[in-house]
Structure 1
Amino acid sequence: MIPHRIGLTGSIGMGKSTTAAMFAEEGVPVWDADAAVHELYSAGGAAVEPLSALLPEAASPTGIDRTVLRTAILADTTLLQRIERIVHPLVAANRAAFAHDTQADIVLYDIPLLFETGQADAFDTLVVVSSPAEVQRARVLARPGMTEAAFEAILAKQVPDAQKRAQADHVIDTSRGLDPARAQVRAILAEIRSSHHA
Protein backbone atom coordinates (compact mmCIF):
# COMPACT_ATOMS: atom_id res chain seq x y z
CA MET A 1 0.00 0.00 0.00
CA ILE A 2 1.29 3.43 -0.91
CA PRO A 3 1.48 5.56 2.24
CA HIS A 4 -0.44 8.82 2.57
CA ARG A 5 2.13 11.59 2.13
CA ILE A 6 1.94 14.69 4.31
CA GLY A 7 4.03 17.69 3.27
CA LEU A 8 4.83 19.84 6.33
CA THR A 9 6.17 23.33 5.92
CA GLY A 10 6.17 26.75 7.54
CA SER A 11 8.21 29.91 7.54
CA ILE A 12 11.14 30.43 9.90
CA GLY A 13 10.20 30.59 13.58
CA MET A 14 6.72 29.11 13.16
CA GLY A 15 7.44 25.95 15.16
CA LYS A 16 7.80 23.50 12.27
CA SER A 17 10.45 21.27 13.83
CA THR A 18 8.47 21.02 17.07
CA THR A 19 5.35 20.10 15.08
CA ALA A 20 7.23 17.49 13.03
CA ALA A 21 8.36 15.93 16.33
CA MET A 22 4.69 15.74 17.43
CA PHE A 23 3.82 13.76 14.29
CA ALA A 24 6.78 11.47 15.05
CA GLU A 25 5.47 10.98 18.61
CA GLU A 26 2.18 9.81 17.06
CA GLY A 27 4.08 7.11 15.17
CA VAL A 28 4.44 8.86 11.80
CA PRO A 29 7.86 8.39 10.14
CA VAL A 30 9.36 11.81 9.39
CA TRP A 31 11.75 12.65 6.55
CA ASP A 32 13.57 15.87 7.37
CA ALA A 33 14.96 17.78 4.37
CA ASP A 34 17.50 19.72 6.47
CA ALA A 35 18.72 16.53 8.17
CA ALA A 36 19.06 14.82 4.78
CA VAL A 37 21.23 17.68 3.47
CA HIS A 38 23.28 17.64 6.67
CA GLU A 39 23.88 13.90 6.20
CA LEU A 40 24.91 14.39 2.55
CA TYR A 41 27.39 17.12 3.55
CA SER A 42 28.90 15.21 6.50
CA ALA A 43 31.99 12.99 6.28
CA GLY A 44 31.18 10.02 4.07
CA GLY A 45 28.06 11.73 2.69
CA ALA A 46 27.24 11.40 -1.00
CA ALA A 47 27.65 15.14 -1.70
CA VAL A 48 31.17 15.44 -0.23
CA GLU A 49 33.15 14.15 -3.20
CA PRO A 50 31.37 16.10 -5.99
CA LEU A 51 31.26 19.30 -3.92
CA SER A 52 34.96 18.96 -3.00
CA ALA A 53 35.74 18.66 -6.72
CA LEU A 54 33.69 21.79 -7.41
CA LEU A 55 35.07 23.79 -4.48
CA PRO A 56 38.18 22.18 -2.96
CA GLU A 57 38.47 24.83 -0.20
CA ALA A 58 35.10 23.69 1.23
CA ALA A 59 36.41 20.18 1.94
CA SER A 60 37.20 19.47 5.60
CA PRO A 61 37.81 16.35 7.73
CA THR A 62 34.17 16.50 8.91
CA GLY A 63 32.75 16.85 5.39
CA ILE A 64 31.77 20.02 3.56
CA ASP A 65 32.26 23.28 5.45
CA ARG A 66 28.97 25.11 4.91
CA THR A 67 30.44 28.45 6.07
CA VAL A 68 33.03 28.27 3.27
CA LEU A 69 30.24 27.31 0.84
CA ARG A 70 28.07 30.27 1.88
CA THR A 71 30.97 32.71 1.45
CA ALA A 72 31.82 31.26 -1.97
CA ILE A 73 28.16 31.46 -3.08
CA LEU A 74 28.06 35.17 -2.20
CA ALA A 75 31.24 35.75 -4.23
CA ASP A 76 30.11 33.76 -7.30
CA THR A 77 26.51 34.08 -8.49
CA THR A 78 26.69 30.95 -10.68
CA LEU A 79 27.92 28.70 -7.88
CA LEU A 80 24.58 28.10 -6.16
CA GLN A 81 23.02 26.64 -9.31
CA ARG A 82 26.01 24.33 -9.79
CA ILE A 83 25.78 23.17 -6.17
CA GLU A 84 22.03 22.61 -6.50
CA ARG A 85 22.58 20.50 -9.63
CA ILE A 86 24.75 18.21 -7.49
CA VAL A 87 22.74 18.25 -4.26
CA HIS A 88 19.10 18.18 -5.44
CA PRO A 89 19.26 14.75 -7.11
CA LEU A 90 21.03 13.36 -4.01
CA VAL A 91 18.31 14.77 -1.73
CA ALA A 92 15.63 13.33 -4.04
CA ALA A 93 17.33 9.91 -3.90
CA ASN A 94 17.51 10.11 -0.10
CA ARG A 95 13.80 10.92 0.03
CA ALA A 96 12.91 8.11 -2.39
CA ALA A 97 14.89 5.62 -0.27
CA PHE A 98 13.00 6.77 2.84
CA ALA A 99 9.65 6.28 1.09
CA HIS A 100 10.73 2.88 -0.21
CA ASP A 101 11.89 1.66 3.21
CA THR A 102 8.84 2.69 5.23
CA GLN A 103 6.02 0.30 6.06
CA ALA A 104 3.82 3.02 7.58
CA ASP A 105 0.40 4.03 6.25
CA ILE A 106 1.19 7.74 6.74
CA VAL A 107 4.56 9.43 6.25
CA LEU A 108 5.53 13.05 6.78
CA TYR A 109 8.01 15.12 4.79
CA ASP A 110 9.38 18.11 6.70
CA ILE A 111 10.43 20.53 3.95
CA PRO A 112 11.18 24.17 4.88
CA LEU A 113 11.03 25.47 1.29
CA LEU A 114 8.21 23.23 0.04
CA PHE A 115 6.31 26.00 -1.79
CA GLU A 116 9.47 27.87 -2.79
CA THR A 117 10.81 24.78 -4.58
CA GLY A 118 7.51 23.98 -6.31
CA GLN A 119 6.81 20.70 -4.51
CA ALA A 120 3.23 21.32 -3.37
CA ASP A 121 1.79 18.80 -5.85
CA ALA A 122 3.97 15.94 -4.57
CA PHE A 123 1.85 15.39 -1.44
CA ASP A 124 -1.60 14.09 -0.54
CA THR A 125 -2.03 16.55 2.34
CA LEU A 126 -0.31 19.90 2.90
CA VAL A 127 0.12 21.10 6.47
CA VAL A 128 1.39 24.61 7.17
CA VAL A 129 2.67 25.54 10.61
CA SER A 130 1.89 29.15 11.43
CA SER A 131 1.68 31.73 14.19
CA PRO A 132 1.06 35.49 14.27
CA ALA A 133 3.86 37.62 12.82
CA GLU A 134 4.79 39.14 16.19
CA VAL A 135 5.20 35.67 17.75
CA GLN A 136 7.32 34.57 14.80
CA ARG A 137 9.52 37.69 15.05
CA ALA A 138 10.05 37.27 18.80
CA ARG A 139 11.00 33.58 18.40
CA VAL A 140 13.47 34.19 15.58
CA LEU A 141 15.12 37.24 17.14
CA ALA A 142 15.63 35.21 20.34
CA ARG A 143 17.93 32.83 18.43
CA PRO A 144 21.68 33.27 19.05
CA GLY A 145 23.33 35.54 16.49
CA MET A 146 20.06 36.47 14.75
CA THR A 147 19.65 40.10 13.72
CA GLU A 148 16.68 42.07 12.44
CA ALA A 149 18.41 42.39 9.03
CA ALA A 150 19.12 38.65 8.79
CA PHE A 151 15.52 37.86 9.73
CA GLU A 152 14.19 40.25 7.05
CA ALA A 153 16.53 38.71 4.46
CA ILE A 154 15.27 35.20 5.28
CA LEU A 155 11.63 36.33 5.12
CA ALA A 156 12.23 37.97 1.74
CA LYS A 157 13.25 34.59 0.28
CA GLN A 158 10.24 32.73 1.70
CA VAL A 159 6.72 32.59 0.30
CA PRO A 160 4.60 34.81 2.61
CA ASP A 161 2.84 32.98 5.44
CA ALA A 162 -0.62 34.07 4.23
CA GLN A 163 0.05 32.52 0.81
CA LYS A 164 1.18 29.26 2.41
CA ARG A 165 -1.91 29.15 4.62
CA ALA A 166 -4.15 29.75 1.59
CA GLN A 167 -2.69 26.68 -0.17
CA ALA A 168 -2.71 24.41 2.88
CA ASP A 169 -5.14 21.60 3.60
CA HIS A 170 -4.53 22.18 7.30
CA VAL A 171 -2.96 25.02 9.28
CA ILE A 172 -1.50 24.30 12.71
CA ASP A 173 -1.35 27.40 14.90
CA THR A 174 1.61 27.02 17.27
CA SER A 175 1.09 30.30 19.14
CA ARG A 176 -1.27 28.84 21.76
CA GLY A 177 1.20 26.37 23.23
CA LEU A 178 2.23 22.74 22.80
CA ASP A 179 -0.96 20.99 23.92
CA PRO A 180 -3.31 22.78 21.47
CA ALA A 181 -0.78 22.16 18.67
CA ARG A 182 -0.58 18.47 19.62
CA ALA A 183 -4.39 18.27 19.59
CA GLN A 184 -4.38 19.71 16.04
CA VAL A 185 -1.78 17.13 14.95
CA ARG A 186 -3.93 14.30 16.36
CA ALA A 187 -7.07 15.66 14.68
CA ILE A 188 -5.33 15.79 11.28
CA LEU A 189 -4.05 12.22 11.67
CA ALA A 190 -7.47 10.97 12.76
CA GLU A 191 -9.05 12.57 9.68
CA ILE A 192 -6.41 11.09 7.32
CA ARG A 193 -6.72 7.65 8.91
CA SER A 194 -10.51 7.62 8.66
CA SER A 195 -10.44 8.62 4.98
CA HIS A 196 -7.50 6.30 4.28
CA HIS A 197 -9.39 3.27 5.54
CA ALA A 198 -12.74 4.33 4.05
Structure 2
Amino acid sequence: MRVGLTGGVGSGKSTVSALLAELGAVVIDADVLAREVVAQGTDGFEQVVATFGPDVVGPDGELDRPRLGAVVFADQERRRELEAIIHPRVRARAAELEQEAGPDALVVHDIPLLVETGQPQDFDAVIVVDVPDDVRIERLLRDRGWTREDAESRIAAQASRADRLAAATHVVDNSGTLDDLRARVESLYAELTSAP
Protein backbone atom coordinates (compact mmCIF):
# COMPACT_ATOMS: atom_id res chain seq x y z
CA MET A 1 0.00 0.00 0.00
CA ARG A 2 1.26 3.47 -0.95
CA VAL A 3 0.51 6.16 1.60
CA GLY A 4 1.20 9.89 1.41
CA LEU A 5 1.95 11.59 4.73
CA THR A 6 1.82 15.35 5.08
CA GLY A 7 1.24 18.14 7.56
CA GLY A 8 2.15 21.78 7.81
CA VAL A 9 5.41 22.94 9.33
CA GLY A 10 5.21 22.50 13.11
CA SER A 11 2.40 19.93 12.94
CA GLY A 12 4.48 16.98 14.17
CA LYS A 13 4.54 15.15 10.84
CA SER A 14 8.14 14.02 11.44
CA THR A 15 7.12 12.46 14.75
CA VAL A 16 4.28 10.58 13.05
CA SER A 17 6.70 9.46 10.35
CA ALA A 18 9.13 8.12 12.97
CA LEU A 19 6.33 6.29 14.80
CA LEU A 20 5.17 4.64 11.57
CA ALA A 21 8.75 3.54 10.85
CA GLU A 22 9.01 2.05 14.38
CA LEU A 23 5.84 0.07 13.68
CA GLY A 24 7.31 -1.38 10.48
CA ALA A 25 6.36 0.97 7.65
CA VAL A 26 8.94 1.74 4.97
CA VAL A 27 9.24 5.52 5.19
CA ILE A 28 10.53 7.50 2.24
CA ASP A 29 11.27 11.02 3.50
CA ALA A 30 11.05 13.68 0.78
CA ASP A 31 13.01 16.18 2.91
CA VAL A 32 15.94 13.76 3.18
CA LEU A 33 15.76 13.09 -0.56
CA ALA A 34 15.53 16.84 -1.28
CA ARG A 35 18.88 17.32 0.47
CA GLU A 36 20.37 14.24 -1.24
CA VAL A 37 19.47 15.33 -4.80
CA VAL A 38 21.18 18.73 -4.40
CA ALA A 39 24.22 17.58 -2.43
CA GLN A 40 27.60 18.76 -3.64
CA GLY A 41 28.65 16.83 -6.74
CA THR A 42 25.13 16.14 -8.04
CA ASP A 43 23.60 17.62 -11.17
CA GLY A 44 20.88 19.08 -8.91
CA PHE A 45 23.53 21.03 -6.98
CA GLU A 46 25.02 22.34 -10.21
CA GLN A 47 21.61 23.46 -11.46
CA VAL A 48 20.76 25.25 -8.18
CA VAL A 49 24.06 27.14 -8.29
CA ALA A 50 23.58 28.00 -11.98
CA THR A 51 20.07 29.31 -11.22
CA PHE A 52 20.66 31.12 -7.92
CA GLY A 53 24.33 32.05 -8.13
CA PRO A 54 27.44 31.17 -6.11
CA ASP A 55 26.19 33.10 -3.05
CA VAL A 56 23.99 30.11 -2.14
CA VAL A 57 27.08 27.93 -1.59
CA GLY A 58 28.42 27.90 1.96
CA PRO A 59 32.04 27.75 3.11
CA ASP A 60 31.79 23.92 3.32
CA GLY A 61 30.97 23.71 -0.39
CA GLU A 62 27.38 22.58 0.22
CA LEU A 63 24.29 24.70 -0.31
CA ASP A 64 23.77 27.38 2.33
CA ARG A 65 20.19 26.38 3.13
CA PRO A 66 19.31 29.39 5.31
CA ARG A 67 20.54 31.79 2.61
CA LEU A 68 18.72 29.90 -0.17
CA GLY A 69 15.60 29.69 2.02
CA ALA A 70 15.63 33.44 2.57
CA VAL A 71 15.62 33.97 -1.19
CA VAL A 72 12.90 31.47 -2.09
CA PHE A 73 10.51 32.14 0.79
CA ALA A 74 10.58 35.86 0.00
CA ASP A 75 9.74 35.36 -3.69
CA GLN A 76 7.17 32.88 -4.96
CA GLU A 77 8.65 32.80 -8.47
CA ARG A 78 12.12 31.95 -7.14
CA ARG A 79 10.58 29.23 -4.97
CA ARG A 80 8.97 27.72 -8.07
CA GLU A 81 12.35 27.74 -9.82
CA LEU A 82 13.91 25.80 -6.95
CA GLU A 83 10.99 23.37 -6.81
CA ALA A 84 11.34 22.72 -10.57
CA ILE A 85 14.91 21.57 -9.91
CA ILE A 86 14.27 19.52 -6.77
CA HIS A 87 10.82 17.92 -7.16
CA PRO A 88 11.42 15.79 -10.29
CA ARG A 89 14.66 14.45 -8.80
CA VAL A 90 12.99 13.64 -5.48
CA ARG A 91 10.14 11.79 -7.23
CA ALA A 92 12.57 9.72 -9.30
CA ARG A 93 14.61 8.74 -6.22
CA ALA A 94 11.44 7.95 -4.22
CA ALA A 95 10.26 5.64 -7.00
CA GLU A 96 13.58 3.75 -6.84
CA LEU A 97 13.28 3.31 -3.06
CA GLU A 98 9.67 2.17 -3.34
CA GLN A 99 10.66 -0.52 -5.85
CA GLU A 100 13.23 -1.80 -3.33
CA ALA A 101 10.58 -2.05 -0.57
CA GLY A 102 8.70 -4.91 -2.19
CA PRO A 103 5.03 -5.41 -3.06
CA ASP A 104 3.72 -6.26 0.44
CA ALA A 105 5.25 -3.31 2.28
CA LEU A 106 3.32 -0.39 3.73
CA VAL A 107 5.26 2.39 2.01
CA VAL A 108 4.81 5.84 3.53
CA HIS A 109 5.95 8.81 1.48
CA ASP A 110 6.64 11.64 3.95
CA ILE A 111 6.03 14.68 1.73
CA PRO A 112 5.69 18.12 3.34
CA LEU A 113 4.38 19.67 0.09
CA LEU A 114 2.11 16.77 -0.91
CA VAL A 115 -0.95 18.99 -1.41
CA GLU A 116 0.98 21.89 -2.92
CA THR A 117 2.53 19.64 -5.57
CA GLY A 118 -0.79 18.03 -6.54
CA GLN A 119 0.12 14.49 -5.49
CA PRO A 120 -2.73 13.28 -3.23
CA GLN A 121 -4.36 11.26 -6.03
CA ASP A 122 -1.10 9.32 -6.50
CA PHE A 123 -1.60 7.41 -3.23
CA ASP A 124 -3.92 4.73 -1.88
CA ALA A 125 -4.33 6.80 1.29
CA VAL A 126 -3.32 10.29 2.45
CA ILE A 127 -2.56 10.93 6.12
CA VAL A 128 -2.67 14.56 7.24
CA VAL A 129 -1.16 15.44 10.62
CA ASP A 130 -3.35 18.28 11.83
CA VAL A 131 -2.87 20.98 14.45
CA PRO A 132 -4.42 24.46 14.62
CA ASP A 133 -2.17 27.15 13.11
CA ASP A 134 -1.75 29.00 16.41
CA VAL A 135 -0.38 25.83 18.02
CA ARG A 136 2.01 25.34 15.08
CA ILE A 137 3.30 28.90 15.49
CA GLU A 138 3.89 28.42 19.22
CA ARG A 139 5.78 25.16 18.55
CA LEU A 140 7.97 26.81 15.90
CA LEU A 141 8.83 29.65 18.27
CA ARG A 142 9.55 27.27 21.15
CA ASP A 143 11.16 24.28 19.40
CA ARG A 144 13.00 25.87 16.48
CA GLY A 145 13.70 29.32 17.86
CA TRP A 146 12.04 31.01 14.90
CA THR A 147 10.62 34.51 15.05
CA ARG A 148 6.85 34.87 14.77
CA GLU A 149 7.38 36.50 11.34
CA ASP A 150 9.44 33.49 10.12
CA ALA A 151 6.83 31.04 11.40
CA GLU A 152 3.93 32.91 9.84
CA SER A 153 5.70 33.30 6.47
CA ARG A 154 6.55 29.58 6.31
CA ILE A 155 2.96 28.65 7.18
CA ALA A 156 1.64 31.12 4.58
CA ALA A 157 3.92 29.58 1.93
CA GLN A 158 2.31 26.17 2.43
CA ALA A 159 -1.17 24.87 1.61
CA SER A 160 -3.91 26.05 3.93
CA ARG A 161 -5.11 23.81 6.72
CA ALA A 162 -8.47 23.48 4.91
CA ASP A 163 -6.78 22.39 1.65
CA ARG A 164 -4.71 19.75 3.45
CA LEU A 165 -7.75 18.41 5.31
CA ALA A 166 -9.71 18.25 2.03
CA ALA A 167 -7.01 15.94 0.60
CA ALA A 168 -6.95 13.61 3.61
CA THR A 169 -8.29 10.09 3.76
CA HIS A 170 -7.03 9.90 7.38
CA VAL A 171 -6.48 12.79 9.80
CA VAL A 172 -4.17 12.45 12.80
CA ASP A 173 -4.90 15.11 15.43
CA ASN A 174 -1.63 16.05 17.12
CA SER A 175 -2.84 18.67 19.54
CA GLY A 176 -2.49 16.36 22.57
CA THR A 177 0.39 14.52 24.25
CA LEU A 178 2.96 12.24 22.67
CA ASP A 179 1.17 9.26 24.24
CA ASP A 180 -2.10 10.38 22.62
CA LEU A 181 -0.31 10.66 19.29
CA ARG A 182 1.33 7.24 19.63
CA ALA A 183 -2.06 5.62 20.31
CA ARG A 184 -3.60 7.31 17.26
CA VAL A 185 -0.72 6.26 15.01
CA GLU A 186 -0.77 2.65 16.27
CA SER A 187 -4.50 2.45 15.53
CA LEU A 188 -4.03 3.93 12.08
CA TYR A 189 -1.13 1.58 11.30
CA ALA A 190 -3.27 -1.41 12.27
CA GLU A 191 -6.07 -0.14 10.01
CA LEU A 192 -3.77 0.43 7.03
CA THR A 193 -1.95 -2.89 7.32
CA SER A 194 -5.19 -4.87 7.60
CA ALA A 195 -6.76 -3.22 4.54
CA PRO A 196 -7.30 -5.67 1.67
The TM tier, using the shorter chain, reads 0.7 to 0.9
More displaced stretch, 113-122 vs 146-155 = 146-155
Structure number, greater radius of gyration: 1
Deviation at 1:32, TM superposition (A): 0.9
**Structure 2 match to 1:39:** 36
**Structure 1 match to 2:175:** 175
- Residue deviations 1:146-197, cap 9 Å, x none? 112222212222222233223311111112212221222222222222223x
Q: 1:155 to 1:90 in 2, by over 3 A?
A: same
Aligned residues: 193
Kindly indicate whether the alpha-carbon contact (under 8 Å) linking 2:26 and 2:105 is maintained by their aligned counterparts in 1.
no
Q: 1:145 to 1:82 in 2, by over 3 A?
A: same
In the alignment, the residues of structure 1 paired with residue 98 and residue 158 of structure 2 have an alpha-carbon distance, to the nearest angstrom, of 26
Q: CA RMSD in A?
A: 2.3
Q: 1:191 to 1:35 in 2, by over 3 A?
A: same
Amino acid at match of 1:186: E
Q: 1:148 to 1:108 in 2, by over 3 A?
A: same
More displaced stretch, 145-154 vs 58-67 = 58-67
Amino acid at match of 1:87: I
Deviation at 1:72, TM superposition (A): 4.9
Normalised by the length of structure 1, the TM-score is: 0.84
**Structure 2 match to 1:155:** 155
Amino acid at match of 1:19: V
**Structure 2 match to 1:57:** 55
- Residue deviations 1:25-64, cap 9 Å, x none? 0011111111111122323344122223332333454422
Give unpaired runs (5+ residues) of structure 2.
Answer: none
Alignment of 1:1-198 (within 5 A): 4-54=1-51, 55-60=53-58, 61-73=60-72, 79-103=78-102, 104-196=104-196
Kindly indicate whether the alpha-carbon contact (under 8 Å) linking 1:48 and 1:59 is maintained by their aligned counterparts in 2.
no
More displaced stretch, 64-73 vs 123-132 = 64-73
More displaced stretch, 42-51 vs 4-13 = 42-51
Kindly indicate whether the alpha-carbon contact (under 8 Å) linking 1:42 and 1:62 is maintained by their aligned counterparts in 2.
no
Amino acid at match of 1:127: I
Deviation at 1:77, TM superposition (A): 6.9
Give unpaired runs (5+ residues) of structure 1.
Answer: none
